[in-house]
Amino acid sequence: MTRTHQILAFVSALALAGCGGSNAVASTPSPAPEQAEAGSTGASPSAEVLAIDYRQRPPSDEVIYFVLPDRFENGDTSNDLGGFTGGPLQHGFDPTHKGFFHGGDLAGLTARLPYLKRMGITAIWFAPIFQNKPVQGGEGEESAGYHGYWVTDFTRPDAHFGTADEFRAFVDAAHGMGMKVYMDIITNHTADVIGYEEGPETGYKYRSRGDYPYVTRGDVGGARINEGFEGDQVSTDENFARLTAPDFAYTPVVKDAERDIKVPAWLNDPIYYHNRGDTTFDGESNTFGDFVGLDDLFTEHPRVREGMIDIYRFWVTDYGVDGFRIDTFRHVDPGFWQAFLPAITQTANAEGKPNFTMFAEVARNEPNAGYFAQFTRRDGVPAVLDFAFQSAMQDVLGKAKGTDTLMELFAGDVLYEGGEEAAMNMPTFLGNHDMGRFSTLVRQDRPGISQDELLSRVMLGHAMMFTLRGAPTVYYGDEQGFVGDAHDQLAREDMFPSRTAVYNDNNLIGTDATTAVSNFDEAHPLYRLVASLSEMRAEHPALRRGRQVTREFRTKPGLFAVSRFDPDTGTEYYIAFNTSDAPIVENAVIGSNARSLETLAGTCPGSVTVPGSVRIELPAFGWAVCRVSETAK
């Protein structure tokens, strides 16, 4: 019997027998699809308690599911072309091409909500839903806006995904199941609509990456200088005076057919863009440059700030969304955030959403808090998407670095605004649509790794993400064992039967299926693991918002242990992991008043024979979650 089959059998046994075992936690059997459609959510009583009023849950309580609607489920084939005519280069639909629309939509996402509910998901974060430019890119390099980041109309869903009414129905259905809805939002740029007269070719052309080198504000050279704003565009704010004559490096031009394509209408005026050429992701270009050829908004301008606040207030007040993941946060000037964030928080509070969530994407491969914390302090964003956690997890489980990497990660929590308590609200994740899936990253770090070992490492990664501080975020398809070929488009497979050859030859883990078939298998070991971990978090507040103390770490792969404490009773929960490929038996530090423990997952020692020390036995890539059941008198 292979290790994959052993894990499948082991998880199934746990579902019948309750807690115990080394690499999984207990899970109840999933109801059949026909039962779910009849109204059964499959949720446990504790999960139902958490869902009584989703608005009252703090961000740390959530289990987040990040999904690209286009790649999840096609519930309505009539909108596949998005209302456009012509061929794929006009409407953007080509399910055989990894870079075009595949047909997933709001109807499909709504229909699959019971699947997410049974997995324990409490918040759905989806890629931008706004109307996009269907196709852009140079000739022969075209791709489609299936991902949602090439916005033309910020006020409605993309027609490939459905209507405003369908979006409202999706939000209402999610709320009806106690799930929050997080929108992925963009304030840094729009689709590529503005072209430049200057460039590598004679005459007007749209931008392609690298065509227009960035020109600094102090070195315009022979390029055209804008004469400044006129009429009501002139700011009276003295602090803004230096910006009222932007030194555009290139001459913006828009095709007649696209002069009014953007909504709201003010977005069509090139004066509200930097027009300085392509960012190099360095220095001032990080803020003022065009992000891979997209129209970079002049976010220092009061009109832009006011307009963006109005756009996103609308989605809170009219649709009742519960949070924003903010794209390309570090490419926007801090002054914008100091206006935007308080305004949105004020609106959310007025709408009865005291726990409205905003977290920033600050993409960087850095396994410590130092770099990321500045955005919570200077810019005032409540949380950042925890790239430091992701990087540390890849170091530990992919690159075989010591577990002291995790100690250093969590020691840095004090640097965030609000310190360790605020860090508990940060969404943690293992992989995503840009960098690639965690399974892919581990496989790249460990060439030749077996499917069994890859599954074990991925399962351990999820166990750590669900029991350590932060709000765990599952990337869609990970619960079905997806393993992509690389990052970006190669990490965006279809959950419904795929027609994309580069996806269908992937070797998935924990299953014999491929992406050529529908992948909503609730018996998959990773789905059942996530469901059981979600249930355990729901039952034990210590795992959602309990203070975390690092107990043990090593300078090589092996033991990492923490204690978390119930926020109401102070009860200690002892959690230990083995990141190595060999079993470990070690003495480890525990709270000095602990005397006996009960097992919630894995295998825990029953008693503490020496005060302050506990004997930990873990298999390769194993874990244990224990609760102190008796303390010193």
Q: Which residue, 343, 350, 415, 408, is CA-closest to 384? A: 415
Let me know the angle formed at the C-alpha of 453 by 447 and 454, rounded to the nearest 5 degrees. 65
How far apart CA 156 and CA 442 sit, in angstroms, is 38
**Mean of pLDDT over the chain:** 88
> Has residue 12 got a pLDDT over 60?
no
The catalytically annotated residue of 361, 417, 452, 617 is 361
Find the helix or strand (DSSP H, E) in which 375 lies.
helix 370-377
User: Known catalytic residue: 404?
Assistant: no
User: Is residue 270 within 8 Å of residue 227, measured between CB atoms?
Assistant: no
167-177 per-position pLDDT tens digit: 999 999 999 99
pLDDT for the residue 133: 97
488-504 per-position pLDDT tens digit: 999 999 999 999 999 99
How far apart CA 186 and CA 195 sit, in angstroms, is 20
Let me know the angle formed at the C-alpha of 166 by 92 and 503, rounded to the nearest 5 degrees. 40
20-65 per-position pLDDT tens digit: 333 443 333 333 333 333 333 444 445 554 455 899 999 999 999 9
Residues 5, 6, 9, 15, Cα dihedral to 10°:
-130
How far apart CA 8 and CA 23 sit, in angstroms, is 11
pTM: 0.90
pLDDT for the residue 248: 83
Q: Which residue, 207, 347, 346, 338, is CA-closest to 279? A: 207
Tokens, residue 67:
């999904």
Tokens, residue 511:
């299953």
Tracing tokens 């006129």 back to the chain, one arrives at 230
How far apart CA 434 and CA 306 sit, in angstroms, is 30
Residues facing residue 67 across a β-bridge: 126
User: Known catalytic residue: 539?
Assistant: no
Reported confidence tier of residue 139, pLDDT bands at 50, 70, 90: confident
The catalytically annotated residue of 70, 192, 327, 479 is 327
Q: Does domain 546-631 have CATH number 3.10.180.10?
A: no
How far apart CA 602 and CA 622 sit, in angstroms, is 7
